[in-house]
């Protein structure tokens, strides 16, 4: 079995769940597509470039079916939610499709019988490069340019880049909220937020699946790090975004399920957990919790052996005092906040259906920085939204200068059928969008260059990740101020008193050089 996972960390967790189900049913994974009998492509469909990448990858895997050993080609993920019928109609090599809400039907698609779960057997074997017992990763992790998720190197200022509806789509997982979701989601559903009428060939059924702590997962991340998806879907009305149509209404995993999964991961050697969801700051609202994310972080931070805990992504108007106090209080909650603001001009934000503006955002950032001293802040913006004027871009520039983010991504607006913005007048020409994006990225580059100089001489803890992909003469690491796969890098060019480093271990280090986005460090000593 060969598996290609595209897109964001949330899609990666879906891939890990599908691989876990396949592994438990007896399938063996290979990193060589030419050797695989069954090939799976887990797709991304957020914007046009992601869709194109998904289609190109499916076609590439289809060639292994015509010329190689592969007997079956399965397409999973967001592209299926949008083009369920079209995929098989237009690419006859595709044997089955699996939507985001029917992950368990990967077994039926692969022609495998589900294995019987044995109570007490750990469900989270790892497959990361740090684990010597495991074969090389079967993944080709390809990144997408996702406005909220940001895996794409090229879009970042400073970062390194017909299957019938199965029963699982209809049956709510036991994790699903019993109360039927948040009032906001119900209201938005009545207003048509989640409708897919304009998408020919898509199922009208919204995904409702959630995995839990008993679901098998094969981790593909390096041994010391893992993601946990704490919620799925989104109820927000952002007019540029089709994620709610693709992933369904917001729903939280049970509190106990998340805690149990985190405990299992730490017991297996994971030291860094990143909580993910479209909007983690809504966590627990559908379960009747108040300050659900803060409560969850507080419980997870108490797990012995967990060195770093962080979450992605925060919706700006849901950052509460209790959340900030919780981040500040626990030494192992990373002082890092990713809050995608999307724009700073009140006019654009109003048409984006997000509200607020530069003035309110600056107050929020001030509150965050006061409550969590030294916090690293990341955001992302979309330029070229319909009706965006040059004055709007200037407002955004002024805001970026004042806010001085540590990390920032700028994405080009992508006109998505089915989104609220699709029918808006005032579309900005593509060339102007690109010019605006470059202008903002150049601005952030200058800000980053000057602020990174302040890091020189600082001592901090680094998680060693292994030899640099750029040269074996250097190692790469991350601090608590760098989220996995997103932010700049810390290159280690001096091992100090140590002869060698170990991937997945923590070291005390001193920053010796700073570049536009990346840092260079010297190891001082190994931490426990």
Per-residue DSSP letters for 82-115? HHHHHHHHH-TT--EEE-TT-GGGHHHHHT-PPP
Positive or negative, the CA dihedral 148, 154, 157, 160 is positive
CB of 229 to ligand SF4, least distance (A): 13
Q: Within 223-333, where are the H helices? A: 243-247, 255-267, 292-301, 321-329
Planar angle of CA 280, 364, 443, nearest 5 degrees? 95
Q: Which stretch binds ligand SF4 (CB under 6 A): 235-243, 410-418, 425-433, 493-501?
A: 235-243
How far is the C-alpha of 226 from the C-alpha of 435, rounded, in Å?
A: 37
Measured between alpha carbons, how far is residue 258 from residues 229, 262, 277, 283 in Å?
8, 6, 13, 11
Among 244, 316, 384, 386, binds ligand SF4 (CB under 6 A): 244
Q: What's the min distance (Å) between Cβ of 282 and ligand SF4?
A: 9
CB of 340 to ligand SF4, least distance (A): 7
Contact 524, 509 (CB under 8 A): yes
Considering only 38, 44, 55, 241, the residue that binds ligand SF4 (CB under 6 A) is 241
CA–CA separation, 302 vs 468, rounded Å? Answer: 33
Q: How far is the CB of 242 from ligand SF4 (least distance, A)?
A: 8
Task: Pick the stretch among 64-72, 87-95, 230-238, 442-450 that binds ligand SF4 (CB under 6 A).
Answer: 230-238
- Judged by CB under 6 A, the residue of 21, 50, 234, 297 near ligand SF4 is 234
Minimum Å gap between C-beta 419 and ligand SF4 is 9
Task: Tell me whether residue 136 or residue 355 sits nearer to ligand SF4 (CB atom).
Answer: 355
Is the Cβ of residue 81 or residue 148 nearer to ligand SF4 in the bound state?
148
Residue 243 interacting with ligand SF4 (CB under 6 A): yes
**Rounded Cα gap, residues 293 and 290, in angstroms:** 9
Build a one-symbol-per-residue string for 144-183: x at contacts with ligand SF4 by CB under 6 A, - elsewhere: ----x-----------------------------------
Applying CB under 6 A, among 279, 285, 338, 416 the residue interacting with ligand SF4 is: 279
236 vs 351, beta carbon nearer ligand SF4: 236
> Toward ligand SF4, which CB reaches closer, 146 or 163?
146
Q: Which residues contact 192 (CB under 8 A, 6 or more apart)?
A: none
* Cα three-residue angle 239-317-416, rounded to 5 degrees: 15
DSSP annotation of 34: G
Exposure string for 329-338, b = 16+ CB within 10 A, e = fewer = ebebbbbbbb
| Cα–Cα distances in angstroms (integers) from residue 326 to residues 215, 225, 333, 426, in the given order | 29, 21, 8, 43
Tokens at residue 97, please? Answer: 């499709």
Is the CB of 53 or the CB of 232 nearer to ligand SF4?
Answer: 232
Task: Find out whether 261 and 300 touch, Cβ atoms under 8 Å.
Answer: no
Cβ proximity to ligand SF4: between 219 and 382 the closer is 382
Answer yes or no whether residue 78 interacts with ligand SF4 by CB under 6 A: no
Taking residues 95 to 134 in sequence order and writing x for each that binds ligand SF4 by CB under 6 A, - otherwise, the string is ----------------------------------------
- Which is closer to ligand SF4, CB of 361 or CB of 506? 361
Shortest Å distance, C-beta 33 to ligand SF4 = 31
| Residue with Cβ nearer ligand SF4 (108 or 388) | 388
Per-residue DSSP letter, 116 = P
Q: Where does residue 447 fall: left (phi above 0), alpha (psi -120 to 50 degrees), or beta otherwise?
A: alpha
Among 182, 229, 236, 452, binds ligand SF4 (CB under 6 A): 236
Q: How many residues in the shown chain lie near ligand SF4 by CB under 6 A?
A: 10
> Least Å distance between CB 10 and ligand SF4?
10
- Helix pair angle (390-403, 430-452), 10° resolution: 10
Beta carbon of residue 235, minimum distance to ligand SF4 (angstroms, whole number): 8
Binding map of ligand SF4 across residues 302-341, x = CB under 6 A, - = no contact: -------------x--------------------------
Q: Which has the closest alpha carbon to 16: 128, 171, 130, 149?
A: 128
The binding site for ligand SF4 (CB under 6 A) comprises 148, 234, 236, 238, 241, 243-244, 278-279, 315
């Amino acid at each position: 079995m060969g598996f290609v996972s595209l897109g964001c960390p949330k899609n990666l967790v879906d891939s890990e769940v599908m691989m876990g189900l396949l592994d438990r049913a007896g399938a063996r994974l290979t990193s060589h597509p030419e050797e695989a009998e069954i090939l799976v492509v887990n797709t991304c469909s957020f914007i046009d470039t992601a869709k194109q990448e998904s289609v190109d990858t499916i076609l590439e895997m289809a060639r292994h079916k015509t010329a190689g050993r592969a007997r079956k080609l399965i397409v999973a993920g967001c592209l299926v939610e949008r083009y369920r019928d079209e995929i098989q109609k237009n690419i006859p090599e595709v044997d089955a499709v699996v939507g985001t809400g029917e992950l368990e039907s990967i077994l039926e698609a692969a022609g495998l019988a589900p294995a019987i779960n044995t109570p007490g057997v750990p469900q989270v074997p790892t497959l990361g490069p740090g684990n010597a017992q495991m074969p090389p990763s079967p993944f080709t992790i390809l990144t997408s340019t996702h406005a909220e998720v940001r895996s794409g190197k090229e879009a970042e200022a400073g970062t390194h880049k017909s299957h019938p509806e199965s029963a699982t789509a209809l049956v709510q997982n036991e994790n699903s909220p019993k109360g039927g979701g948040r009032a906001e989601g119900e209201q938005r559903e009545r207003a048509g937020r989640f409708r897919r009428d304009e998408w020919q060939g898509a199922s009208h059924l919204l995904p409702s699946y959630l995995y839990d702590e008993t679901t098998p997962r094969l981790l593909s991340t390096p041994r010391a790090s893992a993601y946990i998806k704490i919620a799925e879907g989104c109820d927000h009305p952002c007019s540029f975004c089709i994620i709610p149509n693709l992933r369904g209404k917001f729903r939280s995993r049970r509190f106990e399920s998340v805690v149990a999964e985190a405990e299992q991961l730490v017991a297996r050697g994971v030291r860094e957990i990143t909580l993910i969801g479209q909007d983690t700051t809504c966590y627990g609202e559908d379960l009747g919790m108040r300050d659900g994310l803060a409560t969850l972080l507080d419980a997870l931070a108490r797990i012995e052996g967990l060195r770093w805990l962080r979450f992605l992504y925060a919706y700006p108007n849901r950052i509460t005092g209790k959340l900030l106090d919780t981040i500040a209080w626990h030494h192992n909650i990373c002082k890092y906040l990713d809050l995608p603001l999307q724009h700073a001009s009140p006019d654009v934000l109003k048409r984006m259906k997000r509200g607020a503006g530069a003035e309110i955002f600056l107050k929020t950032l001030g509150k965050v920085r006061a409550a969590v001293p030294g916090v690293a802040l990341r955001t992302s913006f979309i330029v070229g939204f319909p009706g965006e004027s040059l004055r709007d871009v200037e407002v955004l520039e002024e805001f970026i200068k004042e806010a001085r983010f540590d990390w920032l991504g700028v994405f080009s607006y992508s006109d998505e059928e089915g989104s609220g913005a699709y029918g808006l007048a005032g579309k900005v020409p593509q060339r102007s969008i690109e010019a605006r994006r470059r202008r903002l990225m150049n601005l952030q580059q200058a800000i980053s260059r000057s602020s990174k100089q302040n890091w020189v001489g600082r001592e901090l803890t680094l998680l060693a990740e292994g030899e640099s992909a750029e040269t074996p003469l250097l190692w790469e690491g991350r601090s608590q101020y760098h989220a996995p796969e997103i932010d700049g890098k810390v290159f280690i060019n001096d091992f100090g008193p140590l002869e060698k480093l170990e991937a997945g271990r923590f070291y005390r280090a001193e920053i010796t050089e700073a570049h536009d986005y990346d840092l260079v460090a010297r190891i001082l000593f190994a931490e426990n």
